[in-house]
Amino acid sequence: MLMQGYGPGFIALTCMLISQHSSINMKKLFAFSLAFLCYTSTHAQAALLALIFGDKIASEKFHLSVDVGLNIASMPGLEQQKATYGTYFGLGTYIKINDKWALTPEFKPLSPRGAKKVLPMTDYSGTLTDVTYNISLKYIDVPLLVQYKITPKLFVSTGPQFSFLTKARQVAKGNLPSGTSVDIEEVTTGRFNSINFAVPIEVGYMVSNARKGKGLDVKIRYNIGVTDMMKDYAYGNSKGSTFQIFLSFPFIAPQEDGKGGK
C-alpha cells in the first residue's frame, strides 16, 4: 500500500500543509508524487519538506536544495574488486557567511556503495557454478562542508563527512546444477563498522540562467575514506573510495541569482 510506513500524523500534516500553501503549483505536487513512488519514507519526507518550504524560507543568506546524481564507489584494499554504481539523492543547505565563504551541510539518505566481483565472505561455490560475489552497502551521508567561491559561478568545497550504515549484503550470483541462474543474498551488516568518516573534495559550477533564473549547480565530488569500513579484518579491509557527480536544484528567488546571490 502506498501509504504504508507513514504514520497518520505525518499524513495529516502533509494534507494540512498542502491545503494551507495554495501557492504550491501542480508541477510541485506532481514532483512530490514521483518522489513518493520512487523513494522510501525517508526520501519522500525529505523531498516533501524541500518542495513545500524551499521557496518559503529562501533568502539571500540561506536556502535549501535537492541533489540527485550518481555514486561510483569501490573498496580499494580488498584483494580483488571492481567499482559499483548507484543513485545519489538528498537535501543540501546553503548558509552564506560572506561573498566568498558559505557553510553547506547536507543530508543524503540515499548513498549506495560497495564493490563487485570480490572474494566471498561466505563461499557458495559448493552450491553454485560460475559464481561471482558483490558487496552492497547502503549509507546515510551527512557532509558538513565549507564552500569557497573562486568566481561568482565556480566554487570548491571540503569538510568532514559522517556516514551511517543502514544495511550491508553479500550477493552471490551463479547457476544451480540444473542451469537456473540464482542470486543468494546474505545480510552482512555485522561485519562492517556502523559509522564511517571521510573527507569530500568538491568542485562545482553554477548555471545561473537555468530553471527560469533559479539556477542549477553541477557538482563533482571525491570522498576520501579515513576510517576502516570493515570489522572483519580476516576478510580484508578498505577505507572506501567514492566518486560522485550530481545536480543540485536550489530553492532560491530568481532575483537573488541576478544579484549573484549564490
Residue 174 has pLDDT above 70, yes or no: yes
Residue range 137-165, pLDDT digits in tens: 999 999 999 999 999 999 999 999 999 99
DSSP the chain: -TTTT--HHHHHHHHHHHHH-TT--HHHHHHHHHHHHHS-HHHHHHHHHHHHHHHHH--SSEEEEEEEEEEEEE-BTBSS-B-EEEEEEEEEEEEE-SSSEEEEEEEEEEEEEEEEEEPPSS--TTT-EEEEEEEEEEEEEEEEEEEEESSSSEEEEE--EEEEEEEEEEEEEEE-TTS-EEEEEEE-GGGB-SEEEEEEEEEEEEETTSGGGT-EEEEEEEEEE-S-SBS-TTT-----EEEEEEEEEE---HHHHHTT--
Residue 15 has pLDDT above 60, yes or no: no
Question: What's the mean per-residue pLDDT of the chain?
Answer: 82
Residue 123 has pLDDT above 70, yes or no: yes
Give pLDDT, residue 95.
Answer: 95
Taking the C-alpha atoms of residue 102 and residue 115, their distance in angstroms, rounded to an integer, is: 34
Give pLDDT, residue 49.
Answer: 58
Banded model confidence at residue 43, pLDDT cuts 50, 70, 90: low
Residue range 177-209, pLDDT digits in tens: 999 999 999 999 999 999 999 999 999 999 976
DSSP 101-148: EEEEEEEEEEEEEEEEEEPPSS--TTT-EEEEEEEEEEEEEEEEEEEE
Give pLDDT, residue 252.
Answer: 77
Instruction: Give the mean pLDDT of 165-186.
Output: 96
Q: Domain locations in the chain?
A: 1-57, 58-258
Instruction: Give the mean pLDDT of 49-64.
Output: 70
CB burial class (10 A; 0-12, 13-18, 19+) of residue 122?
Answer: exposed
Determine phi and psi for 200, rounding to 5 degrees: -75, 145
Is the CATH number 1.25.40 carried by domain 58-258? Answer: no
Give pLDDT, residue 254.
Answer: 59
Taking the C-alpha atoms of residue 39 and residue 25, their distance in angstroms, rounded to an integer, is: 21
Q: How many CB atoms lie within 10 A of CB 63?
A: 25
Banded model confidence at residue 58, pLDDT cuts 50, 70, 90: confident
Give pLDDT, residue 48.
Answer: 55
| 58 neighbors 252 (Cβ within 8 angstroms) | yes
Residue range 199-239, pLDDT digits in tens: 999 999 999 766 666 779 999 999 999 999 999 788 889 99
Give pLDDT, residue 52.
Answer: 55
Instruction: Give the mean pLDDT of 95-106.
Output: 96
Residue 129 has pLDDT above 70, yes or no: yes
Cα-based angle 222, 87, 18 (whole degrees, multiple of 5):
115
Residue 113 has pLDDT above 50, yes or no: yes
Give pLDDT, residue 251.
Answer: 83
Give pLDDT, residue 50.
Answer: 57
